[in-house]
Structure formats: C-alpha cells, structure tokens
A and B are shown apart, each in its own frame.
Chain A
Amino acid sequence: MLEGQVTIASIHERPRAGLLDFLTALGGWTASLTVAGAIGWILFDVFAQGLSNLDWRFLIEPVQRSGRAGGIGPLIVSTGLILLVCLAASVPIGLLSAILLAEFSAQGNRFVAWVRRALDVLAGVPSIVFGLFGNALFCIYLGMGFSILSGGLTLACMVLPLFIRSAEEGFRSVPGEYRLAGFALGMSRARLLFRIQLPEAAPGLAVGLILSVGRALAETAALIFTSGYVTRMPSSLADSGRSLSVHIYDLAMNVPGGGPNAYKTALVLVVLLVFINFVTTWIAKHGLHKRILSL
C-alpha cells in the first residue's frame, strides 16, 4: 500500500521534471547543431565553390584583371610577410608581458590588475580603430607609408591583448609547486623559466598563438589603411602588399565577376589556417615530449 502511494507521488512529480530535462537537452542540442551547422555550411560552400576548377597555378600566378583572372601568388607572399612581421613583434613582447603578469599577479599587484583590464578593453576594440591608429602612427607619424611593415605592426597591436591574455593563462596553469621546488633548489629564475615553466606552458601558448594568427589572417579593416591593397609581388617590407582577406573583400565587393576567384582565395585561406593550427599544436606537443626525454 505504502509502495503504491510512493509510486503515485512519483508519477505526479515525474512528467514536469522529465519535460524540463527534455527541454534543456533540446535547447542544448539545437544551439550546438546550429553553430556546427553554420560552420559546416560555410566550409561546404567554400570548398564546393572554391574547389571547382582550382589548379595549382592559381597559387603562384600574379593577379590579373583586378583578380578576375590569374592567381594569388604575390598575395600569399604578402600575407606571409605581414604575418611574420606581426608575430616577430607580438610574440616576444607578448611573452614577456604574460610572464610578468603571471608572475606578479600571484602577489596581488594593483598595477597588474589595471594592465589586465586595459588589455581586456583593447581586445574588444574594433579592428578598424586599430587600422586608423596604425595608419596615423606607423604610416604617417613614423613615415613607413602603406607598407607590409606598417600592416604587420598594426596587426601586432591588434593581436597583442589576445595573445598576452591567453599566454598568461598558459603560464598560470603551470603548477606553483614547480616554482617552489626550483627556488628551494637554488635555481635561477631564468633556468626555471626556460627549462620548466615555458615548456610546461607551451600548449597554452600555442593556443594563444593560433588564436592570434587566426585573427591576423582574417583581418581586413586594419590592413586596408596600413598595408594597402597593391597586388604586385612585394620586393621588400617597405612595399605595399595585399593580404588574402583584403583580396577576398575586394573581389566580393568591388570587382564584378570576381566571385569565383574570391571563393578560391577563401579556400586557400581556410586551408592555410587549418595548416597553421595543426603545425603549431604539433610543435607544442612534440616539444613537450622531447623535453621529457632529453638528457
């Protein structure tokens, strides 16, 4: 009899709880599938349209007829150079800042809290603002003109907040015990940093690097004002050069009949991003593995 009552009570309770669970699950799945679907759709579109009559000469030929014909050879070179300048400037500065932030934040430093807040604000600044800033500072004030150097440095300013914050997280994820152990053994900060903390933070740093590279490669607004959109093969960092994403934007918006080549360029850009992602992750993992076995 008592059992029966319990069962009746639970029957009354169940449907509501079950409905709530169901709705929660439904909401979760819908949201995830929407996101995955959108990405899948974009990728499918890019691959389907880009792969049709794509051949390897597209990757090396110069741009012809404003991009309607020819290839994107010079643009790949320009993009690579802009990225190199960006990383050459942002990685050392970013790493040092992240180390300082991680090291001093452990001590509850007031200045560090302000730096961190400033970085968070900067990370949210629209890229076109960075473009105008870079144009004013690098192109005009420092006299670099429209050049790959100006563009790369502007991108560096733009990705630094992102890179510093994720690199800082990487360093903070290294257990503090290693630091204590190192100091207790009379190790110098430098050795502790290079032999233990840096390798241990490597996966986190790789994530920061991938995010930064992704953002830099995707950037158009900041580059139009700084590296310009000349499609020639650059002969030095002082030359203007068009990046792949600027090219996509130009073909899609300004060049009638540029659609097919815009898709092909987008495909190249996506593959490049995936490739960089893969290589960076592999290096971080491989480096870690090797370090454990070294000596």
Chain B
Amino acid sequence: MSDNVITDINGASSAPAENNACCHPQHAHIERARPSGPTKMAVESLSIHYGSVAAVRDITLQLPKGEITAIIGPSGSGKSSFLGALNRMVELAPRSRVTGRVAMDGNDIYAPGVNVTALRRRIGMIFQKPNPFPLSIRRNITLALAEQGVRRKADQERILETVLHDVGLWDETRDRLDKSALELSGGQQQRLCIARALALNPEVLLLDEPCSALDPISTEIIEELIVRLRDQLTLVIVTHNLGQACRLADTVALFWVQDGAGRLIEHGVCEQIFNQPCEDLTASYIRGRKG
C-alpha cells in the first residue's frame, strides 16, 4: 500500500492541481494544496544524500509567499536536511550531495555562480538550540550587518533598535546592550537569534524546531513572534509539536521515512491535514499524537 502511495505522489507531482480536496485514498491526484499566494520558493524532485545514505528523496513542494509552512514528521525523516537544502547550509555537512531543483523567485539557488553568502542573508535560519555569539547583545546584531555593508554607526543602531523591538527584546535589553548575550535566558537568546537574522532583512526565514529547547512561556512568546512575522516574510518551521504546527501554519507538510529515506507524504492547508488527511499515514500520525 505504502509503495503505491509513493508512486502516486511522484506521479502526481507534475500533474495539474486544481484543489485541495484530494482526500480520497485511491485518488492519484495527491497534489499538494495549491499555494494561496504566489510561490516564494519552489522545490522540485529534491534529493539529499550524505555519502551513499539518502536523507530525503524526491521532494516536490512549493512554499507560498508570506505564509507559514510547517514541516512535521518523526525524527530522522529528513525534515532538517530539507530545511538545510533551502539555504544551502546542507552543503556544510560532510559528503552531502543535493540533486533536484530549489528555486527562489524562479531562480535556481544551486545554479553555478550563485553567491552563497548573499543567498544565506536572504534566507535566514534559526536553529534548535539558541546560538548567539559569545559577544555583546549589540555586537551579535551588528557583526553580520557590518559585513553586509551597513557600516554607519547610526544605521546599525537604528536597525538594532528596530529588530529588537520586532522580537520584543528592546525593553528587556535596552539597558544592557553591551552585556554578553550569553547572560540572557534561553528564550531571550532565541529571540536575539531571530532578531539577528531579521537585521539582514531576509525574505525567507527557516526555523528548525526553534522552541524545542525552551520553556512553555518562552515558546508562546516565540510563537506570537512567528505569527507577527508572517506579514513580512515567508516562513518554514520544522516542528515535532503538532499543536504548534496547527496554531502557526498555513500549510503543513508531513515527512516520513520510506525505503530508508525521508519522503513527502502529504502537503496541504493546515485544516485539511489535521481534519481530513488524504493519507493513512498522516491520519495515524495526527491521531497518534492526539491520543
């Protein structure tokens, strides 16, 4: 059964999709929920290998502009690898190999001649564990700014204040901007990391389980922040927390390990995935988590 499903998904990836109501198990039209807005990033037949081991295979997925896409699925299903492929961070891993196509605004980000550092400034990334630099709060924000060409102190200060306001850290840190960022709490550190990424004015923000190391209150603050950011950015969030996916996401993608590699099982708008999943796997995953 599951093998058939995979073939169906692959076969359907090029087929035209007119609606989200694909909730019929036998139906071959399992095309993902059509993005409601224009597509910001398009992933086609993406496979990632580490050496001879496949992490994800043949993923085709569109990320709608200005929306939040949540990626859910069990551990080891290649969610983080997929995320890393979207800003080419995956290339830092030993012996990694990416095939397929990833395009932002229609341009292949893996095309030869693409400036990877410039690309990563346009596509920010937040990690599971908050990772501020062992510098002052101020310097955490301005270090990458200076490299981007924002060298005037006044400009740096303006951006610093803006992004700290954006993440709700300004009032908490305005008096101690020159203190080490490592003195902040975990939740504050994670918000600082988001501010640091926002300072570069990215178009896409990738979040890899951004709340899994945080307490519930910090998690709530970060979730509110993510929702606020939806207006300015295209967001992709990997999460193990189905409640979080449900609260935040416009569209949800379920990854699952099949034949030793992560596959995209289903992608659709949030309500459909949670209430009327097309796939048995999705249904049982959601149900399992509920019960």
Chain A interface (Cβ < 8 Å from any Cβ of B): 106-108, 175, 177-178, 180-188, 191, 195-196, 200, 291-295
Which single residue of chain B is at the shortest CB-CB distance from A109?
A: B94
**Judging by beta carbons under 8 Å apart, are B178 and A293 in contact?**
yes
B136 interfacial by beta-carbon distance below 8 Å: yes
Whole-angstrom CA separation of A181 from B178 in the bound complex:
20
By the criterion CB–CB under 8 Å, are A108 and B94 in contact? yes
A122 to B135, CA, bound (A): 38
CA distance A108 to B124 in the complex (A): 28
Cβ contact of A178, chosen from B87, B131, B180, cutoff 8 A: B131
- Min CB distance, A11 to chain B, in Å? 49
Neighbouring B residues of A107 by C-beta, 8 Å: 94-95
Q: Which of A182, A291, A292, A293 has the most CB of B within 10 A?
A: A292
Report whether B134 and A292 are in contact in the complex, using a CB–CB cutoff of 8 Å.
yes
Please judge, given known A-B contacts A108-B94, A180-B127, A183-B89, whether A292 and B118 are in contact too, CB under 8 Å.
no
Complex-state Cα separation, A294 to B138, whole angstroms? 10
B144 contacts partner chain A, Cβ-Cβ < 8 Å: yes
B143 at the A/B interface (Cβ < 8 Å)? yes
Q: Are B117 and A186 in contact (CB under 8 A)?
A: yes
Complex CA–CA separation, A74 to B117 (angstroms): 54
* Cβ of B282 under 8 Å from chain A: no
How many Å from the CB of B198 to the closest CB on chain A? Answer: 11
Q: Which of B95, B120, B178 is close to A185, meaning CB atoms less than 8 Å apart?
A: B120
* Extra pairs beyond A108-B94, A191-B147 (15, CB < 8 Å): A107-B95, A175-B131, A180-B89, A181-B132, A183-B92, A184-B87, A184-B124, A184-B197, A186-B117, A186-B118, A186-B121, A186-B144, A196-B134, A293-B136, A295-B138
- Chain A residue contacts of B134, Cβ below 8 A: 178, 196, 200, 292
Contact: A177 with B144, CB < 8 Å? no
Tell whether B110 is near chain A: CB-to-CB under 8 Å: no
**Known contacts A196-B133, A292-B180, A295-B139; A185/B94 CB under 8 A:** no
Contact B129 A177 (CB under 8 A): yes
Query: Interface digits, B164-192 against A, CB 8 Å rule (1 contact, 0 not)?
Result: 00000000000000101000000000000
**What's the dominant secondary structure at chain A's contact region?**
helix
Answer yes or no: B200 CB below 8 A from chain A CBs: yes
How close is B221's CB to chain A, nearest CB, in angstroms? Answer: 21
| A-B contacts at CB below 8 angstroms, number | 78
Say whether B246 faces chain A, with CB atoms less than 8 Å apart: no
Q: Is the CB of B131 within 8 A of A180?
A: yes
Inter-chain CA distance A216–B95, complex, in Å, is: 41
Determine the chain B residues whose CB is within 8 A of the CB of A185 once the complex forms. Answer: 120-121, 124, 143-144, 196-197, 200
Give every chain A residue within 8 A of B143 (Cβ-Cβ).
185, 187, 191, 195
Q: How far apart are the CA atoms of A191 and B143 in the complex, in Å?
A: 9
Q: Indicate if B148 sits at the interface (CB-CB under 8 A).
A: yes
Contacts of A293 in B (CB 8 A): 136, 178
| Closest chain A CB from B85 CB (angstroms) | 13
Complex: chain B residue closest to A177, CB-CB = B131
Q: Are B135 and A291 in contact (CB under 8 A)?
A: yes
Docked pose: A171 CA to B134 CA in angstroms: 15
Quick one: which of B94, B118, B119 contacts A106, CB cutoff 8 A?
A: B94
B94 near A181 with CB under 8 A, answer: no
B187 to chain A, nearest CB (A): 17
Chain A nearest CB: distance from B212 CB in Å? 15
Residue in B94, B118, B127, B147 with the greatest tally of chain A CB atoms within 10 Å: B147
Q: B143: nearest residue on chain A (CB-CB)?
A: A195
Chain A residues lying within 8 Å of B253, measured Cβ to Cβ, are: none
Q: In the complex, which residues of chain B have a beta carbon less than 8 angstroms from the beta carbon of A188?
A: 117, 147
Listed by A's residue number, 30 A-B pairs whose Cβ atoms lie within 8 Å are A106-B94, A175-B131, A177-B131, A178-B134, A180-B131, A181-B193, A182-B133, A183-B92, A184-B120, A184-B124, A184-B197, A185-B144, A185-B196, A186-B117, A186-B118, A186-B121, A186-B147, A186-B148, A187-B117, A187-B143, A187-B147, A188-B117, A188-B147, A196-B133, A291-B135, A292-B139, A293-B136, A293-B178, A295-B138, A295-B139
